[in-house]
Structure 1
Amino acid sequence: MSSKSRFIGAVEIGTSKIAVLIGEIVQNTVNLIGFGECQSHGVMKGVVTDFKAASDAAHNALITAEQSAGVKIDEVYLAQSGGHLEGFYNQASVSVSAADNMVSQMDIDTVCRLAKAKALPEGRMVVHHIRRPYLLDGKMVGANPEHLNGQRLEVGYWTVHGQEAMIANSIHVIRGFDVRVGDMILASLGSGTMVTTQQDRQHGALVIDIGAGTSDFVLYRDGVPFMTGVVPVGGEHLTNDLTLGLRVTEGQAEKLKLRHGRANVITHEKGKKVWLNGDYAIGDRQFPQQTIETITAARMEELFEVIKKKLGPALAPERCAAGVMLTGGTAKLPGIEDTASAILGLPAQRGQMPPGLEQKLQDPSHTAVLGLLHYGLQSRGDRPLQKRRATGGILRKLFPARA
């Protein structure tokens, strides 16, 4: 390995699993060299609820990843999810200051600062400022309007913020392993990076990552993230619904979900039954197939209805030509594309992972952690990672002595 290499980890602390991916960064390329995963503990709906349990699980995953790579991680990108995350849009405009109406860097800096200046309630802090395209005299311009001629420059940001204490807890889990958190990245942005192309994002696409405890979504328009959100509903809720509806244990419900659950109802024979274990041994039980499908389909329909409501008029079919990409472990549920399409009013498909990945990384449950490395190495928003850290921000606010 090159002496100039950096070893970056991507960490997702999920409800059902904690995943760690290690990439070797050489110049502008990244090689995947290590992976670790373990069952999650002390995490509910994407939020750390038991610090010691979550730390132990995360450290096991980190150690496994480092051992598989044969290196020590220099820093990590940490995925952020959870129902505490919220977003809003704020826009600002300035008059171009130069007498010849040529946009200067000062004009750009001023309008960006004003657009990001909206105050947050106490106890909340910014996770991401996601910039939308610049407008010059009402017309969309490129990524950098400097030296263009016009009279009025506008820009807006979709700002994602969360509970400061919950964000601090997830960072503490990683810092307990004596690894620096280089930056935090929304899980939805990681997933979106993996299952869409630049053309998809330009045409408009909605990516929904359905995990165990949460579902993260990002709507792309004009090539950039337009809106993001988190719904505290995932695969575990289907299991819980089956547990209550069929009066079975959680383990039995999980088995029935994986074998017979669907996101739509296709069984119309009320008398058709399925076996729990299928070995017909003493204690094996039968359950109505239609009932199982009805329970799981109802929860998935509810999820897509909630996402549709959150997006509101932003979910315009004419601005989302690439349709819906579904990923995450629960996206493997049969019939999910049909249900998503029927409710969201857009063509839906399972997101495709890039070719060339190892078999174990091709599972859609790994979409977010894979995307963290790719997204984190790009110029995020309007400043690359190194500049973000140098100017302070969330990590400096939470940990002034070490960030």
Structure 2
Amino acid sequence: MSRGGTFASIDIGTTKVCTVVGELASEDMRILGVGIAPSAGLTRGMVENIRDATESIKASVEKAERSSGTRILSAHVGVAGTHIACLNNRGIVAIPDRTRPIMPDDVTRVLDGARVVSIPTNREIIHVIPRYYVVDGQDNVSDPVGMFGTRLDVETHIVTGIDSAIQNLTKCVENVGVQVDGLILEPLASAEAVLDQEEKEQGVVLVDIGGGTTDIALFIESSVFHTAVLPVGGNHVTRDIVVGLRAPYQAAEDAKRKWGHAIPSMVDAREEITLDAFGSEGSKTELRRRLCEIIQARVEEILEMVSAEVKRAVHDDVISAGIVLTGGTAKLSGIDMLAEQVTGWPARVGMPRNLHGLTDALIDPAYATSVGLLQWTVNEAEASTWHRPSRASLDMGSIWRRLGNWARVLLPE
């Protein structure tokens, strides 16, 4: 929705669904409403139960509508999951009239040329993101419009996903009466919220450790070079605690949040904790360091997987700005220090910035994607710097959905 400068985004994660409504105030984002609901029907970022996922999204959207005092007719939606794949490709076009400057239509043509890639029939292109342009051999042109030349090239980063997974996600949102304006890869959205321009310029890895997946976005020379989704996340840490301490899942999750630390040696070796447990007594006492050792083992494995994924894409010498951690698991004490030990790169925990309004719940690594989706939506509305195929179609189902959306606004509940 973009009526009157108001925008909405929906972050559908494995552990939570977060709907954010905001507007652009001067150069900062003003949050008008937030709706957070527990997630159901999703595993590793992909829908496994349409009905449960729809109910979770509905609860989140309704909360956001109440807090913002506005109806959400359409929104940009975050997409992730292990079905995501990426590749880099080049597009080339000729400029027929050398006496005129390069026009926006020429940029559109060269991006369309970059879209011509060989992908399986069951995959769909989500993003075609220009990394840089080349005008008559001149590299690293950020915006060729207005320049003169006879040949225009573009280096792009292309993100694809499996058709069925995208359709399932879109169906869940549309079942709530919200039209999907566009899909945005979640690590790219998180990068909008937590990275600064200098980090992108010098080379940085954005790592969003969510509940079911770990999302990676690698930026070099201010543009995205590589993206990936790993099938591990914070829920795996919790399950390790369940197995290691023989505790119920919720007790393990609470213990992770309250007493967890990524560096066991920084915890008093004699400190004890009490948590709920299986068995007749219903509770047990454990050494806090034992809990932290279990957490460290899994988080270290996740960070090693991240490092290996990045090194497959580029030489690690180009990662001058290091690694920025975000997502719910990034709230774990000491995770930035462990990241530096494991990867050898500088590390910090990234949180959303430059926000005003109802921001109390959002200044948190867990909501970096939610805020980033809104910021990406605003940037797209201001200037379309990347192109994606339109998902709108003039079939009868689409027409009826549009009429239903208007009915929600015009008719009282």
One-letter code of the match for 2:362?
L
Give CA deviations for 1:219-245 in whole Å, capped at 9, x if unaligned.
112222221111121110001111122
**3-state SS, counterpart of residue 285 of structure 1:** strand
Which residue matches 1:8?
A: 7
8 Å contact kept, 1:90–1:157: yes
Superposed, which structure 2 residues align to 1:63-212 within 5 Å?
63-94=62-93, 97-98=96-97, 108-149=107-148, 152-212=151-211
Q: How many residues align?
A: 393
Structure 1 residues 348 and 30, CA, compared in 2 at 3 Å: closer, same or farther? Answer: closer
Structure 1 residues 361 and 38, CA, compared in 2 at 3 Å: closer, same or farther? Answer: same
Give CA deviations for 1:139-163 in whole Å, capped at 9, x if unaligned.
4243222454556543222111111
Task: State the 1:396 CA deviation.
Answer: 3.9
8 Å contact kept, 1:5–1:25: no
Task: State the 1:322 CA deviation.
Answer: 2.4
Q: More deviation in 198-207 or 46-55?
A: 198-207
Measured in 2, the distance between the counterparts of 1:149 and 1:188 equals 35
One-letter code of the match for 1:364?
P
Measured in 2, the distance between the counterparts of 1:71 and 1:31 equals 15
Task: State the 1:97 CA deviation.
Answer: 4.5
Task: State the 1:361 CA deviation.
Answer: 1.5
Q: Which ranges of structure 2 fall in alignment gaps of 5 or more residues?
A: 403-413
One-letter code of the match for 1:334?
S
Measured in 2, the distance between the counterparts of 1:290 and 1:238 equals 15
**3-state SS, counterpart of residue 216 of structure 1:** strand
Measured in 2, the distance between the counterparts of 1:231 and 1:125 equals 19
Percent of counterpart pairs with the same letter? 28
Superposed, which structure 2 residues align to 1:10-29 within 5 Å?
10-24=9-23
* Greater relative contact order (CA < 8 Å, ≥ 6 in sequence): 2
Measured in 1, the distance between the counterparts of 2:210 and 2:53 equals 17
One-letter code of the match for 1:201?
K
Measured in 2, the distance between the counterparts of 1:178 and 1:275 equals 47
8 Å contact kept, 2:98–2:150: no
**3-state SS, counterpart of residue 133 of structure 1:** strand
Q: Which ranges of structure 1 fall in alignment gaps of 5 or more residues?
A: none
Task: State the 1:316 CA deviation.
Answer: 4.1
Structure 1 residues 381 and 120, CA, compared in 2 at 3 Å: closer, same or farther? Answer: farther
Superposed, which structure 2 residues align to 1:3-402 within 5 Å?
5-24=4-23, 31-94=30-93, 97-98=96-97, 108-149=107-148, 152-266=151-265, 272=270, 274-277=272-275, 283-312=282-311, 314-357=313-356, 358-379=359-380, 383=384, 393-396=390-393, 401-402=398-399
Give CA deviations for 1:312-368 in whole Å, capped at 9, x if unaligned.
254445433322111111001122112222233210001133155522211211111
User: TM-score, length-normalised on structure 2?
Assistant: 0.85
RMSD: 3.1
**3-state SS, counterpart of residue 141 of structure 2:** coil
Task: State the 1:246 CA deviation.
Answer: 2.4
Measured in 2, the distance between the counterparts of 1:48 and 1:372 equals 19
Measured in 2, the distance between the counterparts of 1:26 and 1:356 equals 10
Measured in 2, the distance between the counterparts of 1:354 and 1:99 equals 44
Measured in 1, the distance between the counterparts of 2:396 and 2:58 equals 20
**3-state SS, counterpart of residue 398 of structure 2:** coil
Give CA deviations for 1:13-63 in whole Å, capped at 9, x if unaligned.
111111111124689975321111111111111111111111111101111
Give CA deviations for 1:174-231 in whole Å, capped at 9, x if unaligned.
1112121111111111110111122322222211111111111211122222211111
One-letter code of the match for 2:46?
V
Measured in 2, the distance between the counterparts of 1:180 and 1:289 equals 47
Give CA deviations for 1:376-398 in whole Å, capped at 9, x if unaligned.
1214898369x86xxx5345499
